[in-house]
Amino acid sequence: MEYLSIANGGAFGSLVRFLIGRRIAEKSSMFFPIGTLVINITGAFLLGVVSAIGFNKNMYTLLGAGFLGAYTTFSTFTYEGFNLFQNNDRLNAFVYISFSLILGVFLYAMGFAIVKSI
């Protein structure tokens, strides 16, 4: 059951990530990977929310490990950050990596705190 929950959540999470990332890329004229940044920080916020709600193990597996595990993407974050450095776009690389990490941790904490305060 656990594997099925992860697979189902992951399938949906990766599809949502793809659609949102594509939509942001279509609307953005930036040379900055804004789509992955938005996806990763919203995913961090949502993981904070899911963690704070205290779902049972099955629901957390579906949403946290499955959906949000596939929705957020460390591999794309790493690839895009590395490419910015390789293309000598060091300022954007620094901003992208810093914002991803700092905003990700901050928004996780914010999502967690919001749910706990309700």
What is the C-alpha separation between 103 and 89, in angstroms, rounded? 21
| Structural domain harbouring 70 | 2-117
Instruction: State pLDDT tens for residues 28-72.
Output: 887 789 999 999 999 999 999 999 999 999 999 999 999 999 999
pLDDT value at 95 more than 90: yes
Burial 11-46 (b: 16+ CB within 10 A, else e): ebbbeebeeebeebeeeeeeebbbbbbebbbbbbbb
The secondary structure of residue 54, as a DSSP letter, is T
pLDDT value at 13 more than 90: yes
Query: What pLDDT score was predicted for residue 73?
Result: 86
Tell me the two tokens of residue 11: 């399938």
- What count of Cα atoms within 13 Å lies in the side-chain half-sphere of residue 54? 3
Q: How many domains does the chain fold into? A: 1
C-alpha to C-alpha distances, 63 to 45, 77, 82, nearest whole angstrom = 13, 21, 29
Torsion angle in degrees (nearest 10) through CA of 17, 23, 25, 28: -130
C-alpha to C-alpha distances, 37 to 67, 101, 108, nearest whole angstrom = 17, 10, 14
Global pTM?
A: 0.88
